[in-house]
């Protein structure tokens, strides 16, 4: 089996198991993943919102906030799992697309 085939199988498995991000924090009462906090969560954790975070918080809006579709926040765990898998697929496709574009731009011969 070629190494690229093994890579794609591994990436596919990671995309399929991405809903573990829903189950495990809830199971272990862990709260949000480290570093994925919004401005409100940072304020709850440390008591204030740092000026830089407050200024930049509205600069970027995720295309799939909370890894789900708009209006799916109250879906069942199965529905949210499908949204997580879809979000993983979109993220993988975007990363691969950017990598191929950069590779083709950087490897052009003059």
- pLDDT, mean over the chain: 86
Residue 72 has what pLDDT? Answer: 80
Instruction: Give how far the C-alpha of residue 104 lies from the chain's centroid of Cα atoms, to the nearest Å.
Output: 26
Give the count of beta carbons closer than 10 Å to the beta carbon of residue 46: 10
Which sequence spans correspond to the domains of the chain? 3-36+63-106
Tell if the pTM clears 0.75, that is, is over it. Answer: no
Query: Residues near 109 by Cβ (< 8 Å), separated by ≥ 6?
Result: none
Sign of CA dihedral 96, 36, 78, 61: negative
For residue 48, pLDDT beyond 90: yes
> In the chain, which residue ranges form alpha helices assigned H by DSSP?
3-16, 20-27, 39-46, 51-56, 77-106
- Which pLDDT band holds residue 110 (cuts at 50, 70, 90)? low
Residue 80 CA to residue 71 CA, distance in Å, equals 11
pLDDT in tens, 53-106: 888 888 877 777 777 788 887 888 888 888 888 888 998 999 999 999 999 999
């Amino acid at each position: 089996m070629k190494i690229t085939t093994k890579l794609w199988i591994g990436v596919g498995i990671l995309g399929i198991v991405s809903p573990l991000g829903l189950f495990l924090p809830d199971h272990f009462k862990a709260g949000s993943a480290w570093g994925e906090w919004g401005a409100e969560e940072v304020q709850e954790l440390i008591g204030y919102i740092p000026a830089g975070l407050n200024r930049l918080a509205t600069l970027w809006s995720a295309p799939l906030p909370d890894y789900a579709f708009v209006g799916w926040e109250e879906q069942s765990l199965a529905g949210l799992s499908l949204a997580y898998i879809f979000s993983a697929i979109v993220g993988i496709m975007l990363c691969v697309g950017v990598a191929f574009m950069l590779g083709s731009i950087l490897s052009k011969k003059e």
